[in-house]
A = this chain, B = another copy of it.
Amino acid sequence: MTEQTALINGEIDAVISPRDRGLAYGDGVFRTLRCQAGRVLAWPRQYARLQADCERLGMACPDEALWLADLARLAPWDASIKLMVTRGVAARGYACAPDAPPTRLVLAGPLPAYPEALYRDGAAIRLCDWLLPIQPGLAGVKHLNRLDQVMARREWSDPAIFEGLMRNARGELVEGVMSNLYLLQDGCLLTHPLTDCGVAGVMREMVLQLATELGLPIVLRSFDADVMLGAEAVLLSNSLAGVVPVGRCGQRLWQDFSLAAQFNHRINSLCREESHLCLPV
């Protein structure tokens, strides 16, 4: 598994057209998946989200069988996998050709190496200055228009900082650049509703499902940085890292990381139960 393994519309080492609408307009969606010992974790949820996001943009989503054939072709063992769908190749202009076939892209690469200390001692995070725009029309969708995340990520280069938190134009803390965000407060799990901005991750869906099983009431509401700094615990999640406890934000330190550990224990089981085994062809 090299950094460069890519399948485009099922072809190894195929290329992206310079006229692909994914490049021209960011006209597409993606998902990031974790593959562990040959199993793509949480596959049914990942595919369901990909389909739902394509539908939000009015795009055709390639059939599940095509993706599974691609995954069998790549036969990843331990890998990070990125799936991408764009509205395909088109002539100049914003208008969509109604019958243009979508571009289907699968990229496989090594898993990022998250140190054990990240889970044991918690992550160091920062607040980003770059604001997320309010856009209910695209809220929740994991689309390819990610300049806001790029610009926010440019604010720091210190490798000790794991993540930057992003606020929207109303000053609400929404999510991290690459993760969803949760607070433990008064025995409840708070997270932004993501109805007018933000990305609804598959790991977020799992966290919310498991919170109920852990007896934690879920509160979907907005909160600002002061509420975050006053929370009993702060958690981040994404599909590659699972649930990451926050240990430090500026001068504020947290020390009890047991909730993240509980989540990860259950999420690992659930991810395996719901995984898809990539049998090599």
Contacts and interface: CB of A to CB of B under 8 A. Distances in A.
Interface of A: 3-4, 6, 8, 15-27, 30, 57-58, 80, 82, 84, 86-87, 91-96, 105, 107, 109, 112, 130-131, 133-135, 137-138, 143-154, 157, 169, 177-178
B23 A20 contact: yes
B19 A147 contact: no
Given A6-B18, A15-B15, A17-B16, A25 B149 contact: yes
Contact of A178 (B23, B80, B93, B144): B93
State the copy count for this chain: 2
B153 A23 contact: no
**3 closest A-B pairs (Cβ-Cβ)?**
A26-B26, A15-B15, A133-B133
Contacts of A144: 23-26, 147
A74 to B, nearest CB: 13
Given A6-B18, A23-B16, A147 B112 contact: no
A169 B177 CA distance: 23
Contacts of A57: 147, 150-151
B145 A146 contact: yes
Contacts of A109: 91-92
Nearest to A6: B18
9 contacts: A18-B107, A25-B144, A25-B147, A25-B149, A26-B146, A94-B146, A95-B153, A138-B147, A145-B147
Nearest to A30: B24
Contacts of A18: 6, 8, 15-16, 105, 107
Contacts of A93: 112, 178
A58 B154 contact: yes
B149 A94 contact: yes
Contacts of A94: 146, 149-150, 152-153, 177-178
B131 A148 contact: no
Contacts of A157: 95
A4 to B, nearest CB: 8
Contacts of A130: 137
B96 A150 contact: yes
A2 to B, nearest CB: 12
A134 B133 contact: yes
A154 B15 contact: no
Given A23-B23, A133-B133, A3 B146 contact: no
Residue among A15, A80, A133 with the highest chain B CB neighbour number at 10 A: A133
